[in-house]
Amino acid sequence: MTESFWFFGSYLTILADRTMTGGQYDLIEGYFPPGSQTPPHRHTRYSEQLYVLEGEFTVWTDVQKIEISTGETFLIPVGTPHVVAAIGAGMNQRVD
């Protein structure tokens, strides 16, 4: 199963969803144009693991701000409010 779509200015491809992973996670790859960001949100079923394939991101949670770049990862625990923003040139990230 592969499904791609535009969401808040970012191009996302679902590589695997909860129906394929026994309800454990969704695997999503995304392209985020420079300056784009997600709206504030939280995930209620599972945590969000970001892995940056290319570029840099700023992540704001309810308790911290962190910058991650190519090859780095960051875990956002389940239920944690957060925003993810692309910095500079277009970014690619993988979200588990």
| Token pair 């199963």: residue | 1
State the pLDDT at residue 90: 46
Task: Please give the pLDDT value at position 26.
Answer: 82
The answer to whether the beta carbons of residues 8 and 65 sit under 8 Å apart is: no
Where residue 79 falls among pLDDT bands split at 50, 70, 90? very high
> In the predicted model, what is the mean pLDDT of residues 8-32?
86
Categorize the per-residue pLDDT at 7 as very low, low, confident or very high, splitting at 50, 70 and 90: confident
Which candidate, 46, 43, 30, places its Cα nearest to that of 94?
A: 30
Q: Which domains does the chain have, with CATH numbers?
A: 3-95 (2.60.120.10)
On average, the pLDDT of the chain sits at 85
- Residue 77 CA: distances (Å) to CA of 17, 46, 82, 91, 96: 18, 7, 10, 22, 12
Q: What is the pLDDT of residue 72?
A: 93
Give the model confidence (pLDDT) of 26-54 as tens digits.
888 889 888 888 899 998 988 888 989 88
